[in-house]
């Protein structure tokens, strides 16, 4: 039986992150995301405008 891929494995395979550049804590943080959040990252990575300003909440 094949072991299920972690979120970070999955995002690495999709070319969205480079696991070699991330710390263990970083990878744990990504793995703690929900499946929906990971799907959203995959989807938006293809479409997001890299210059999109702000995140909506400001101080």
**If binding is defined by CB under 8 A, does position 26 make contact with other proteins?**
yes
Give first-to-last CA distance, the chain, whole Å: 49
**If binding is defined by CB under 8 A, does position 15 make contact with other proteins?**
no
Q: In angstroms, what is the minimal distance from the CB of 47 to other proteins?
A: 8
**For other proteins, the closer CB: 9 or 16:** 16
**If binding is defined by CB under 8 A, does position 21 make contact with other proteins?**
yes
Q: Which residue has the tokens 């479409």?
A: 47
**If binding is defined by CB under 8 A, does position 30 make contact with other proteins?**
yes
* Count of residues making up the chain: 59
Q: How far apart are CA 19 and CA 54, in angstroms?
A: 26
């Amino acid at each position: 039986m094949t072991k299920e891929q972690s979120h970070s494995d999955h995002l690495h395979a999709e070319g969205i992150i480079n696991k070699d550049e991330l710390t263990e804590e970083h990878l744990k943080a990504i793995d703690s995301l929900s499946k929906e959040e990971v799907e959203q990252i995959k989807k938006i990575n293809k479409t997001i405008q890299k210059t999109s300003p702000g995140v909506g909440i400001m101080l």
